[in-house]
């Protein structure tokens, strides 16, 4: 075997290994939902962000929460969705962003204290989240 043949084989093997390693990721699931008070009433806030933080290996996703409480999750590009898996849900909803006044209890704003958790898969892609005051 000549040196050129060895180099080509190594390059092909590296490409094959890279393709297998990168191609195993789960497809993204388009995820949307709403955030409301426990009694079903809309929350009153100026601006909001929602974050899905994976409980195991995986990529976090985020989205803006509009004033009606609706959200759509993004991992890399707007609206692309979320990898299947289980996530802690972190909410940062601001009554007054400039003065740092939250519209929800601080427990919802930290991954270690939030009581919200969702499991995303193709059959579970819409979440109506309820916030206790």
Distance, in Å, from the CA atom of 63 to the CA atom of 96, rounded to the nearest integer, reads: 19
- Structural domain boundaries in the chain: 32-131
- Per-residue pLDDT at 97: 82
- Per-residue pLDDT at 25: 52
Note the pLDDT tens digit of each residue in 42-79: 888 999 999 999 999 899 999 999 999 999 999 999 98
- Per-residue pLDDT at 60: 96
Residues in the chain: 133
pLDDT band at 133 (very low <50, low <70, confident <90, very high): confident
Which pTM value belongs to this model? 0.78
> Which residue has better confidence, 13 or 37?
37
> Residue 3: is its pLDDT beyond 80?
no
- Per-residue pLDDT at 18: 44
**Percent helix, strand and coil across the chain, each to the nearest 5:** 20, 40, 40
- Per-residue pLDDT at 19: 39
pLDDT band at 87 (very low <50, low <70, confident <90, very high): very high
CATH class as words, domain 32-131: mainly beta
- Per-residue pLDDT at 8: 54
Residue 9: its H or E element: helix 3-23
């Amino acid at each position: 075997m000549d040196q050129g043949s060895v180099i080509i084989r190594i390059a092909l093997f590296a490409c094959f290994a890279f393709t297998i390693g990168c191609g195993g990721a789960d497809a993204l699931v388009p995820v949307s939902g709403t955030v409301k008070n426990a009694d079903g009433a809309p929350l009153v806030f100026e601006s909001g962000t929602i974050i899905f933080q994976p409980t195991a290996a995986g990529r976090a996703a985020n989205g803006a929460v509009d004033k009606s409480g609706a959200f759509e999750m993004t991992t890399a590009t707007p609206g692309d969705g979320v990898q299947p898996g289980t996530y802690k849900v972190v909410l940062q909803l601001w009554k007054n962003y400039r003065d740092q006044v939250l519209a929800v209890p601080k427990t919802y704003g930290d991954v270690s204290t939030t009581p919200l958790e969702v499991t995303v898969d193709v059959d579970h892609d819409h979440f109506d989240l309820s916030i206790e005051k």
